[in-house]
Amino acid sequence: MEYKTVMMKPEDSVAVALTDIPAGTTVKVTCQDRTFVVQLRDTIEFGHKFAVVPIKRGQDVRKYGEVIGVASRDIEVGEHVHVHNVEGKRGRGDKVGRANPS
Amino acid sequence: MGAQTHPKFWGYRRPDGRVGVRNHVLILPTITCATQAAKQVTELVHGTVSFIHQHGCAQVGVDYEQTFRTYVGMGTNPNVYGVVVMGLGCETHQARSVAGEIAKSGKPVEVVSIQDHGGTLGAIARAARIAAQMVQDASALTREPFDFSELIVGTECGGSDACSGLSANPAVGVVSDMIVDLGGTAILAETTELIGAEHLLAERAVDDRVAKRVYEVIQAMESRATAMGVDIRTGNPSPGNIRGGLTTLEEKSLGAAAKAGTRPLQELVEYAQRPTKKGLVWMDTPGHDIEQLTGMVAGGAQVVLFTSGRGTPTGSPIAPVIKIATNTPMFERMRDNMDLNAGTIIDGTESIESVGQRILEEIARVCSGKLTKSEILKQHDFGIWRIGPTF
């Protein structure tokens, strides 16, 4: 069975599932001149993201060709990419507080 | 093709020259104490609308001004034929001051005060009698054809999911460009949900001053979150956004920015301020759906395009809100609330441009009188972005 996915820009590190896709499925993701064959390590729900390249802890995560956050731990190809392994970089009052204890 | 290149709508010309797409009589309570009486008037008199809120007293400074501007903007919106301003009598936001500003637009305005006009029942009777005459006068008007250059179209996304940035928002972006090219105004808003995408919009600013304002409003919004010492993700993206696959505010913002199309950014206006330029305009509002909607309508938007992935009932008492689903399953589940489906883009059965064209045609129909789902369900949402404490 062919599962639909979308990857916005070739430089992105993630693609989006356009249907629920079970763990273990191998999907082919194409974006312009780049193609990735990815075996999913997790079940990916409709609208959720998975990694098409390995992302190291502390590395930026890209979608739409732009930075959507930073990996909070190492992420392997085919892993679900979401709040458990990505943090936002903006509006981080919690980080400001830690950086400037008063 | 004529209908596509020169679309028209049938509206009402107002004394100040602006054009309305609805013909409401607004019962406008300037203070929370008068909202229940105002609501009773709408029960009595056909053709009237009102809204419940908790504002209008013990407010000072810029917060006082923003609330005042919002009331005046609701009254002067060209979708409103005439206004009965209802006050209590002792509040900071005096009904008489608000009515005085609305009267400058040339439309019928009257003031009713609960303390001056015999308490709740006396005030309701007086307001209802005035409103009944206004409704009959309004009903004698007929619609005339107008160009889209007369329109201010608000754009908004609420209850976003990962499809928002792929389907409905880019389709609204296509419409935003069409409106601009037809000589009208498209409002981009929800500053919070542009955090992380500001560089893309600053690049499109018509001059350095507008580009500088983009960074200023973004920084001001972000610093409100950081000043609270919390991760903004505790409130935005919302739990529903996160269940829908949106991971960070930046990701949500990049999807939200797609609503802005590709045309130059002409100016940046304050919350509830009327744009002074045609074309694409950014209004500084929070991401909160109702506060944003209220700001755009008070700023003169006659119609609003609202995309949703999770589905929302949102509507305005005075402006039709065309709600556009980002995905087909939600559109099917929430047909009572959603007007159009852009999920066809995800399904692969329709192009972004084709959905944009469908939305443009729906704007013409709705602005000529077709009711939207939220109007039919009397979803009269109203909420002001408060920027100061209550005293």
Write out the H or E segment, with its range, that includes residue B325.
strand B321-325
As a whole number of angstroms, the longest Cα–Cα distance in chain B is 63
Q: What percent of chain B has pLDDT over 90?
A: 94
Query: Taken in order B261, B180, B308, A70, is the CA torsion positive or negative?
Result: positive
CB contact under 8 A, B230 and A46: no
DSSP result, A39-69: E-SS-B-TT-EEESS-B-TT-EEEETTEEEE
Residues of B within 8 A of A16 (CB-CB) are 162, 166, 245
Q: How far is A57 from chain B (nearest CA, A)?
A: 16
Among B63-67, B91-95, B201-205, the least confident range = B91-95
Chain B positions touching A71 (Cβ under 8 A) are none
Collapse the DSSP code of B208 into the 3-class scheme (helix H, G, I; strand E, B; otherwise coil) and give the result. Answer: helix
Cα–Cα distance measured from residue B282 to residue B221, given in angstroms and rounded to the nearest whole number: 14
pLDDT at B3: 46
> Is B226 in contact with A91 (Cβ distance < 8 A)?
yes
**Fold entry, domain B24-139:** Rossmann fold (3.40.50)
Output the pTM of the full model: 0.94
Contact between A91 and B247 using a beta-carbon 8 Å cutoff: no
Residues with Cβ < 8 Å from B246, sequence gap 6 or more? B160, B161, B162, B237, B252, B255
CB atoms within 10 A of CB B344: 21
Establish, for the pair of chains A and B, how many residue pairs have beta carbons separated by less than 8 Å. 103
Which residue do the tokens 């009698």 mark? B129
Q: What is the mean pLDDT of chain A?
A: 92
Sorted by where each begins, the domain ranges of chain A are: 5-92
> Cβ separation of B227 and A93 shorter than 8 Å?
yes
Which CATH number fits the domain A5-92, given the four candidates 2.30.130.110, 3.30.390.50, 3.30.1490.20, 3.40.50.1010?
A: 2.30.130.110
Q: Which of B344, B49, B7 is nearest to B153 (CA)?
A: B7
Residues of B in contact with A51 (CB under 8 A): none
Chain B's closest residue to A98, CA to CA, is B229
Instruction: Give the residue from A6, A90, A92 with the most B CB atoms within 10 Å of its CB, the best one to mutate.
Output: A90
B247/A93 touch (CB, cutoff 8 Å), yes or no: no
- For the segment B173-191, the average pLDDT, to the nearest whole number, is 98
Domains of chain B, by residue range, sit at 24-139, 149-376
Residue B340 one-letter amino acid: L
Contact B250 A66 (CB under 8 A): yes
Close Cβ partners of B193 (under 8 Å, ≥ 6 residues apart): B157, B160, B236, B249, B252, B253, B256, B287
| Helix ranges (DSSP H) in B104-190 | 119-139, 168-181
Band the pLDDT of B6: cuts 50, 70, 90.
Answer: confident
Indicate whether A3 pLDDT > 70. Answer: yes
**Residue type at B308?**
S
The confidence band for B225, taking pLDDT boundaries of 50, 70 and 90, is confident
Question: 10 Å Cβ neighbour count for B290?
Answer: 18
The answer to whether the beta carbons of residues B49 and B378 sit under 8 Å apart is no
B 79-118 → A contacts, CB under 8 A: none
- ipTM for the predicted complex comes to 0.93
